[in-house]
Amino acid sequence: MYRVGQEEIDAVAKVILSGELFRYHEGGECERFEKRYAGFVGAEHCRMTSSGTAALTALLAGLGLGPGDEVIVPAQTYMATAISVLSVGAIPIIADVDESLTLCPRATDEIIGPRTRAMIPVHMWGLPCDMDSLTAIARKRDLLVIEDACQAVGGAYEGRMLGSIGDGGAFSFNYYKNMTAGEGGALVTDDAEVAQRAGCMVDCCSFYWTGRQDDFRPFAATGSRASEIEGALMNVQLDRLPSMIQALRDQKKRILKETADTPLTPAPSRSLDWECGAQVVYTLPDEDSATGFVEKVGGVIAGKTGRHVFTEWDPILDHQGAHHPDLNPYNLPQNQECRREYPEGMCERSLDILGRTVMIANHPDRSESEVSAVIERIREAAETVLG
């Protein structure tokens, strides 16, 4: 969360005083946000959800993924990315990230097997994936591309908004994200049928409120409908987003520029002019220097957040894919030809890179002198650790 204040309080108060807290009514906040956000991202359709996990799951279901399918996820992401694959009955296949901290195109290409139907590039820490390479691979190998833009709300890749480049994109509005309603999320797609199926996942009872449609048979699904409180908050947050992202990007560029003459190696950015700018990232030569650097500057080692590396995904490594063994994708007969093991020693390259990559978080409300102090700390640490 970056900015929240009186405007959000006023918007929520208005909803509460109106008594219209349920989304299905004329001129509602959710409907307004969905239209605005689709336009902002450059997608045809948007559905709000109660979380990013629900958005990802609904999108995968909307795209028809299910038992018998493998879906590639990166070795570093929040576990929810991989969990969403299991939630639709498919199997997550874990591929290496590269120094950019995003899905490595070469590793992705190499790991594709006969059962692989989709990939989920995750724009981790607001850093865009190499979408040109990944979409080229997907086209060549006939895979769907689902962008996990949960951590990259408001970011873009070479002029195209993240989440709008593949077959669909998912966003989180939880407390830690660029825009927030405390919890929340959204999915976008250009495909009306995918949007309709995903919408059914989000609220399979919606036809009671919006009317039955002759050409669509609703199916049973768990709900993740957004409330008008979320809608009201998100409409204000969307007004704030562009200037916050601009401030973050400018800050990152300034820090990189003013540390360019140090021995530090900036992690490769796939789209420096368009990314979120939330983190300044450097690739250190080894874990010791990364540890020494973080001790001096602050920040965090990418592989040591405690919740973003595949080795920390307990239910997945433990094959606990559902609440009931008969629904567990790892047990389903349709998945017997999918690769279901996560052997010891896998994705060593990711673990090596993650163990020596350091991230320093930006904030859009830092003053120029506060940014200067960060730059000074980075320069001193670089001198001590690498000089």
Ligand X SMILES: Cc1ncc(COP(=O)(O)O)c(C=O)c1O
Q: Which region, judged by CB under 6 A, interacts with ligand X, from 78-86, 158-166, 220-228, 256-264? A: 78-86
Residue 60 binds ligand X (CB under 6 A):
no
Please state, in angstroms and rounded to a whole number, the distance separating the CA atoms of residues 97 and 353: 8
Closest CA to 374 of 384, 385, 363: 363
Cβ proximity to ligand X: between 109 and 148 the closer is 148
Q: Which region, judged by CB under 6 A, interacts with ligand X, from 102-110, 147-155, 195-203, 262-270? A: 147-155
Please state, in angstroms and rounded to a whole number, the distance separating the CA atoms of residues 70 and 67: 8
Residue 126 binds ligand X (CB under 6 A):
no
Please state, in angstroms and rounded to a whole number, the distance separating the CA atoms of residues 331 and 14: 49
Query: Which of 58, 65, 122, 244 touches ligand X by CB under 6 A?
Result: 122
Query: Which of 51, 102, 180, 279 touches ligand X by CB under 6 A?
Result: 51
Closest CA to 358 of 237, 259, 235, 215: 259
Q: Which region, judged by CB under 6 A, interacts with ligand X, from 62-70, 72-80, 109-117, 322-330? A: 72-80
Least separation, in Å, of the C-beta of 124 and ligand X? Answer: 6
Residue 148 binds ligand X (CB under 6 A):
yes
Query: Which of 185, 199, 277, 329 touches ligand X by CB under 6 A?
Result: 185
Residue 71 binds ligand X (CB under 6 A):
no
- Is 140 marked active-site? no
Least separation, in Å, of the C-beta of 227 and ligand X? Answer: 15
Query: Which of 8, 11, 43, 52 touches ligand X by CB under 6 A?
Result: 52
Query: Which of 100, 102, 108, 172 touches ligand X by CB under 6 A?
Result: 172
Cβ proximity to ligand X: between 180 and 335 the closer is 180
Provide the b/e sequence for 197-233 (b: ≥16 CB within 10 Å): bbbbbbbeebeeeeeeeeeeebeebeebbbbbbbbbb
Q: Out of 177, 252, 253, 296, which one is annotated catalytic?
A: 177
Residue with tokens 């998945």: 335
Residue 78 binds ligand X (CB under 6 A):
yes
Which residue number is nearest to ligand X in terms of Cβ?
52
Which of positions 248-287 make contact with ligand X (CB under 6 A)?
none
- The answer to whether residues 283 and 357 touch, using CB atoms and an 8 Å cutoff, is yes
Residue 76 binds ligand X (CB under 6 A):
no
Least separation, in Å, of the C-beta of 75 and ligand X? Answer: 13
Residue 48 binds ligand X (CB under 6 A):
no
Q: Which region, judged by CB under 6 A, interacts with ligand X, from 61-69, 76-84, 238-246, 352-360? A: 76-84
Query: Which residues carry out catalysis?
Result: 177
Q: Which residues bind to ligand X, rule: CB under 6 A?
A: 51-53, 77-78, 80-81, 122, 148, 150-151, 172, 174, 185
